Structure 1
Amino acid sequence: MATEYSGGDPERSLELLWGGRTRPSRGPKPALTLDRIALAAIEIADTDGLGALSMRAVAERLGFTTMSLYRHVPGKAELLDVMVDTVNAESPMLEEVEGGWRAKMEVCAREEWALFHRHPWVLQLAWHRPALGPNGTTAYESALTALSGIGLSDNEIVAVFNTLYGYVRGAARVSVDAKLAERHTGVTEDEWWSSRDRYWRELVTPERFPTLNRIRRSDAFDAIGMDFEFGLERVLDGLAALIDSRPLGAKADDRAL
């Protein structure tokens, strides 16, 4: 999946994200709103990918003209920002999660993993140039708060979150790519590998590659979900070692239990 970068007007995006969804308190309810546009766009992207997303496609799904959309959002770039912040509302508020920092980060990681699979197009958008909307900002505040007061410096808090989020995003991209490949080609992973029987039978022989063949026979290469959980626990173990090395680390986590 190619990475996309927003080319929209940043000031207009901020206006849309933080003020563009305010509805009038009086008068008839508008037939077309920014929320409706964003939800329709998300449905298209979820089903067919970002390549199928256009202002025209969204307008057709809603039964309006393309020009009608431009009264609410300047273009696709700004619409993408609104779409991302809309799905960011699905991120958990970690203040509601019982337990210490690790329990909260486990929930955060697993929920983000699920979000990426519900909305795989999010993985195509640049991580370091996020949509600066209220939902995403609230979720980020929640995560940073969960990592505060446990002996980490502010720089370490950001680094710990980035390490965890980077792992989840990277693992999700591998998993999502596998699912998208099956959807777009109509060929399952088993079918793809079965069609390469000569690779295993003649080229990658047990005599030449004994370890690879042993692991293949154990079906370990099929355990994508287990790979995520295994990696998540190892990342959290490493972060726990750092936090426990701080004077407040273990005590702060104990207090939250």
Structure 2
Amino acid sequence: MTTEYSGTGDPARSLALLWRTRDKPSRKGGDLSVGRIVHTAIELADAEGLTALSMRRVAERLGAGTMSLYTHVPGKGELLDLMLDTVYGETARPDDVPGGWRGRLELVARENHALYLRHPWLLQVATTRPPLGPNLIAKYEYELRAVDGIGLTDLEMDAVVTLVDNYVHGAVRAAVEMAQAAQQTGLTDQQWWHAHAPYLERALDARRFPLAARVGTAAGEEYQAAADPQRAFEFGLARLLDGVQTLIGQRHAG
């Protein structure tokens, strides 16, 4: 569930911080800096989720006064944009990727998938007004290169990259929620399934729900759980790339 929105900070201050060339030392001689504040905020969000994020909590982790943070970062809106742009810089961007455009686009999807798993709080941020920082722009540039020179228009290139990013955003949610459920309940999804499946088998009327009974039984036996998010991600990614292949073929045929 979305709990925060990016791009809510003061535009001038946010962009100045995002595109800063280096951190300025604290005027009071402390060791606080924008970078240290941002990395501490990311660690907090990774550990406790975005709902735990506040300037006060970040200050506590730093052993500093809350007001001292505002010398470097004006507020939570600007801090969130800085956090987003910082983690966007984690994605790998190798120059040589085998498999042509498909291999490159697959790498983009997998890197974004891994990013969400490392930082599940990203799923709580609506980024329709993105933090326009250097790491976001570099990430976008690299993703566009995956589909450059294959016959698509500029708008189609943007649409394909957006399609992949949106697919990953939706597909990874199940994996994140599965991990969070296991952490909260102390039961893995396999343990939960094994506890519930026998009762479902007795209660389910296969004459009333023939497809659900047949397909659900096959899936449950294969997954040993109610779902397999990784398998679903792999299946969907392959079908998405097949669709892009069809689009490219249409452009070349035309």
Name whichever of 192-201 and 174-183 sits farther off.
192-201
Match status 1:43 vs 2:46: no
Match status 1:22 vs 2:19: no
Tell me, in whole angstroms, the C-alpha distance in 2 between the residues paired with 1:248 and 1:22.
50
Assess, with a 3 A threshold, how the Cα gap between structure 1 residues 118 and 207 changes in structure 2: closer, same or farther.
same
What is the root-mean-square deviation of aligned Cα atoms in Å? Answer: 2.5
Report the Cα offset of residue 216 of structure 1: 3.2
Tell me, in whole angstroms, the C-alpha distance in 2 between the residues paired with 1:67 and 1:127.
27
What amino acid is aligned across from residue 231 of structure 2 in structure 1?
Answer: M
Tell me, in whole angstroms, the C-alpha distance in 1 between the residues paired with 2:187 and 2:54.
28
Match of 1:236 in 2: 241
Does the aligned pair in 2 maintain the 1:59–1:65 contact within 8 Å?
yes
Report the Cα offset of residue 246 of structure 1: 2.2
Percentage identity across aligned positions? 49
* Number of residues of Structure 1 aligned to a counterpart in Structure 2: 247
What amino acid is aligned across from residue 8 of structure 1 in structure 2?
Answer: G
Report the Cα offset of residue 41 of structure 1: 0.6
Match of 2:58 in 1: 58
- Runs of 4+ in structure 1 off by over 6 angstroms are none
Report the Cα offset of residue 198 of structure 1: 7.8
Tell me, in whole angstroms, the C-alpha distance in 2 between the residues paired with 1:174 and 1:92.
23
Does the aligned pair in 2 maintain the 1:150–1:248 contact within 8 Å?
no
Assess, with a 3 A threshold, how the Cα gap between structure 1 residues 3 and 248 changes in structure 2: closer, same or farther.
farther
Per-residue CA shift, 1:42-97, capped at 9, x if unaligned?
Answer: 11111110011111111111111111111110111110100001100112225343
Match status 1:173 vs 2:176: no
Gaps of 5+ in 2: none
Does the aligned pair in 1 maintain the 2:182–2:189 contact within 8 Å?
yes
Secondary structure of 2:67's counterpart equals: helix
Assess, with a 3 A threshold, how the Cα gap between structure 1 residues 18 and 47 changes in structure 2: closer, same or farther.
same
Tell me, in whole angstroms, the C-alpha distance in 2 between the residues paired with 1:233 and 1:49.
31
Report the Cα offset of residue 191 of structure 1: 4.4
Assess, with a 3 A threshold, how the Cα gap between structure 1 residues 185 and 2 changes in structure 2: closer, same or farther.
farther
The correspondence of residues 1-257 of structure 1 with structure 2, limited to 5 A, is: 1-6=1-6, 7-19=8-20, 22-23=22-23, 31-194=31-194, 196=196, 200-217=200-217, 218-220=221-223, 221-247=226-252
What amino acid is aligned across from residue 213 of structure 2 in structure 1?
Answer: N
What amino acid is aligned across from residue 115 of structure 2 in structure 1?
Answer: L
Name whichever of 157-166 and 96-105 sits farther off.
96-105
Report the Cα offset of residue 98 of structure 1: 3.8
Gaps of 5+ in 1: 250-257
Secondary structure of 2:127's counterpart equals: coil
Report the Cα offset of residue 168 of structure 1: 0.7
Assess, with a 3 A threshold, how the Cα gap between structure 1 residues 30 and 22 changes in structure 2: closer, same or farther.
farther
What amino acid is aligned across from residue 240 of structure 1 in structure 2?
Answer: Q
What amino acid is aligned across from residue 13 of structure 1 in structure 2?
Answer: S
Secondary structure of 1:67's counterpart equals: helix
Report the Cα offset of residue 9 of structure 1: 1.1
For normalisation by structure 2, the TM-score amounts to 0.87
For normalisation by structure 1, the TM-score amounts to 0.86
Tell me, in whole angstroms, the C-alpha distance in 1 between the residues paired with 2:195 and 2:57.
37
